[in-house]
Structure 1
Amino acid sequence: MTSKRTTRRTVLASCLALALGLGVTATASAGAPRSVTGKPSDAITRIADFYGAYIDAQSDPDNGGALADELRAYYLTPGLQKKLKTWEKKNHADGVLRAQNVPLKWKVTDNGTANHTEAGITLTWGGGVTTKLVVDMTRDYKIFHIGTKGAAGS
């Protein structure tokens, strides 16, 4: 009976120490500064910059429309802009986001391609629902495709 009590106490003490240790770590890291890095010569950075700025612009109902149009003109090829307008008329939604509203957050992941940059975009909406898109960018940093599959698979 003594060994069961000793084992139980040891397990409880270990769990308590672990919980306290995790609590200290979580508290210490909660206030740690965050940083985001990027560079204009990196296509993934540019795609992330575009989505961040575009979502910010679309989140501003008073002034966002003009800025969103300017961002499209700067980052997207003229051919893609035309395709998006056609898609938007047909689907009554924003072609860049493939939705009628604005996501709460986004993530850009390099899919790795040889001739151009392909990135996976994960848009997260209320309730944790996600939409996954694929964005392709030329070597001269213009987005030429947005869809549910990459340009090669379209």
Structure 2
Amino acid sequence: MPRQRCCGLIDDAIVCQTFIPLGQSCLEEVNIKLEELEAIRLKDKVGLDQAECAASMGVSRATFQRILGSARSKIASALVEGRPIIIRGGHYLMKNRVFECVGCGHVWEAASCAAGGKYGYEISCPMCGSMKKMRLNNCHQERNI
């Protein structure tokens, strides 16, 4: 039986989910997962070393290297072949989440379940105890949990 796959921790939501080469929208798209984009961001944009990147994402160095290699390979294919890049999905958790209570309006930040927090459906308002809340910045979705 295979091991359960690790969730990569993601710092923030992405700004743009689609890149399409000029005049090439009919080619098959390349799908990049959000944890792959986070690996590229940490290593190539922020400039962290592999150990720091792995720690930031909450995965082993070997897992980080596999995620990074997959992302770089997909991006290289898309650039060389002129294929559109779509960024979505994957197996990840947002590091911190911000909720607002529908009842009392209290706003609070909750850690991800990978960082010792609870899944969103288990979290109640720390002020009034209500389970009726909404996630702020609703583009920060958790997927494949």
Structure number, greater radius of gyration: 1
Greater RCO (Cα-Cα under 8 Å, separation 6 or more): 2
TM-score (norm 2): 0.28
Q: Counting helix residues as a fraction of each chain, which structure ranks higher?
A: 1
